[in-house]
Amino acid sequence: SAHANQEKRWVLSDFEVGKPLGRGKFGHVYLAREKRSSEIVALKVLFKSQLKQSQVEHQLRREVEIQSHLRHPNILRLYGYFYDQTRVYLILEYAAKGELYKELTRCKHFSERRTATYVASLARALIYLHGKHVIHRDIKPENLLVGVQGEIKIADFGWSVHTFNRRRTMCGTLDYLPPEMVEKAEHDYHVDIWSLGVLCYEFLYGVPPFEAKEHSETYRRIVKVDLKFPLKPFVSPAAKDLISQMLVKSSAQRLPLHKVLEHPWIVQNADPSGVYREGRSV
Ligand SMILES: CC(=O)N[C@H]1CCN(c2c(Cl)cnc3[nH]c(-c4cn(C)nc4C)nc23)C1
């Protein structure tokens, strides 16, 4: 009888490797096509030497173990992995519309409809992850990709891959950390509610809420929850209300994710399909 669901053993020659999509500390991500199925994928190549040097092999194994079991439209799929003498290869879903932060940089800030649609999709993805006891998926703009339909996808594996023109402010940024992490307290899934609030603010204003020149100043603003809403661009009171209920110092007081999905601003602005299409009026 056929092996009980014997996972396919992938080898590099199963793929035609194309252009590089991004480059990072541990290696590159390439566009690739699986020869038998003609499926387009993103092939993340990590150097064993780099992994060993940074003692992250066990973390990579854990990340791959988690990621390979996740199935959600707003979480980038990990189809499989393989390795050879010198490298580890991750076979990832290819997100055809690339990195969200590039789009945010280009647009300066997103509309309320676009922001609410993304925030609702991410809240659903986080509810799914928390249901699987997976937390802290590090949802800063750098780790968000956009699929062919315009749907948002969480793409982090604990290894951020630097693309060619990486945003300077993000390297080692504190911006997305909640007070309990900045104060080195242990953290639980409430951290994701905080990060989603930071992301919602940055989508609407184009800058994160506690941004400052010095790390020490950002740190002070986070622990104090020094939340200020600029006059420009105009943002509705309902949006500010949602952000204010997520960026709360006491983690237990933060608006639970299912309540985020019921918030009037989300209900009125998020596209039910979870996809933001430019210029669609109704
Ligand atoms: C945090 C992170 O992993 N960043 C990137 C590097 C490329 N990689 C991709 C991954 Cl892992 C998956 N799909 C991608 N699609 C793209 C991309 C598409 N366009 C038009 N431009 C780009 C770039 N990149 C990827 C992830």
Q: Closest Cα partner for 109 from 229, 9, 17?
A: 229
Residue 267 corresponds to which tokens in the numbers above? 């209900």
- Alpha-carbon distance 124 to 130, whole Å? 10
Q: Is 84 a catalytic residue?
A: no
pLDDT at residue number 207: 97
Q: Are 260 and 123 in contact (CB under 8 A)?
A: yes
Q: Closest Cα partner for 36 from 7, 6, 18, 16?
A: 16
- The complex's ipTM works out to 0.95
100 lines ligand 1 (CB under 6 A): no
pLDDT at residue number 254: 97
269 lines ligand 1 (CB under 6 A): no
**Catalytic residue, candidates 138, 156, 192, 271:** 138
242 C-alpha to center of ligand 1: Å?
A: 30
pLDDT at residue number 89: 96
pLDDT at residue number 5: 43
pLDDT at residue number 90: 95
75 lines ligand 1 (CB under 6 A): no
165 C-alpha to center of ligand 1: Å?
A: 12
Q: Are 210 and 140 in contact (CB under 8 A)?
A: no
pLDDT at residue number 130: 86
pLDDT in tens, the chain (282 residues): 344 445 789 999 999 999 999 987 678 999 999 999 999 999 999 999 988 888 888 888 888 888 888 999 999 999 999 999 999 999 999 999 999 999 999 999 999 999 999 999 999 999 998 888 887 667 889 889 999 999 999 987 654 333 233 333 344 678 888 887 777 666 678 888 999 999 999 999 999 999 999 999 999 999 999 999 999 999 999 999 999 999 999 999 999 999 999 999 999 999 988 888 877 665
